[in-house]
Structure 1
C-alpha cells in the first residue's frame, strides 16, 4: 500500500494533503495509539485504500504528535475522519463506523460528477476518431470502475464498426457514473435495486450488478425505458460471451 497510505505531520500536511487533494481525493484519519476505536477503524480505512487502488489516498495524523493539526480542523474526539478535495474538507465523520458506512463515505468521495469528468476528458477524446482506440480505452476505464471517464470516450461514437458495442458499453458507463443520481421513477423498490446496481458497478462487482438488474427486469422489463436491459447487455459486452457470469445470467434473462 505504499503511496496509498501516508503518515502526515504538521510539516508535510500542506504538501501531502492540501496540495495532493487537487489531484486525487485525500482521506485524513486523525487517530492516536491509545485509542481503541481508532485501532478498529484504521484497518478498515487502510483496506479500502488498497481496494480502491489509488482512487484516493489515506493520510494518517497522530493527534498526540500533531495537536496543532487537530486544533486547526476542530478535532474534539477521535477517530475523526475528514475528506479533502480541491484543497478543502468536503465530508467528514467521527467514531469507528461500520465498514459499509465507511465504504459509502469513500464511494461518495471518489465518485466523479459527469460535468467534472467530461470537462477533464473532452480535450483528450475530441480528436481521437479511431473506433478501436476509443473502445479499448472505454473498456479499460470500465474495468477500473471509472464510468464517467468512459462516458466521454463512448459518447458521440463514430458511425460504423463498433457502434453497437459502444452503445451497450455506454449504458453501463452511465449507470456506473450517474445511476444513483438519476431521479426516482415512482417505484421505490426498483429504484433501490437500481441504486444498488450502480454502487456495485462502481465497485466492479459485475455479478452483483447483474443480480440486481435481473431482479428489476423480472418485475418490469421497461424500467427506465429499457435502461436496465441495456446495462445488462453492456455488462455482457464488457465481460465477453465466454465469461461464466455471462453464460449463467444470459440464461436467466426474462423473455
Structure 2
C-alpha cells in the first residue's frame, strides 16, 4: 500500500494515466512487488523514503504483481522486486532485487532530468500549439544550460527536418553522444535525412513515373527508391510503402536489399505499430518467404 505524497498505488486500470502519461512530465519509478516477497519489504521503504526526500522530482508507482499479471507480462517481470524507471512514456532504466540505499540513490540520480530540461518540456508544449519560433528558442536555451541535453538537440533536429534544413539536422545528430544516437527516435531522424539525400538530385514525380515505366535494371530500381523517398518527405507513408513493396518484389537484390531495409525504416517512422505497419509487415513477410 502506498504511503507518502509522492507514492501511488497503480493497477492495470490507471497505468496509462498514472505512469505513461505522467512520465512525460516527471520521471516515474515503478516498483513491482508482492506482499509475500521478503526483498520487496526491504526495498519498498527505501524507494518510498527517497520519493519523499526528492520532493516530487520523481514519482513512485507501486504495482502488486500478483494482482496485475498483465502488466507483469507486458514489462517482462521475471523476479521481484523489479524496478523500472519510465521517462517520456517508456522504460529507460531498471533493476531487479533489493539494492542498498546508496545504489538506489544512484539509480534515481541517473533518471532525473538534466539541468534546464524544464525548458525542453515547455518547448514540447509550445510545439503542440504550433508556436515553433518560441519552442526553438527554448530548446536552444536548454542546450545552453546543459550542452549534453541530447533530447533538446533531438527536438531541434526534428524541427530542422520538418523545415527542410537537412544539413542542420545532420549536424545536430552528429553532435549527439554515440550512445544517444542509438535511440530509435534518432534513427527516425537519420532515416528522413537519408530520404532527403535520395531525392536531392532526383527528377520530379511525373518524370520519375516515366523512368519507372521505361527503364530497366538498376536505373528502374533507383527511380522507384527515389519516388518512395519523395513520398516519405511529403508525408505519404502509405504511398511510400506501396512503392517500396513493389521494389522488394521486383528488385530485391538492388543495393544489398535496400528496398526491404527502407521498408523497415518507414515502419520505424510509424513507431513500428498500427494498422498500416501490420498490413505491410504481412505483405513483406509474404514477399520474402
Q: What's the TM-score once normalised by structure 1's chain length?
A: 0.47
* Structure ranking higher in helix proportion: 2
Higher relative contact order (CA 8 A, sep 6+): 1
Structure number, greater radius of gyration: 2
Q: What's the TM-score once normalised by structure 2's chain length?
A: 0.41
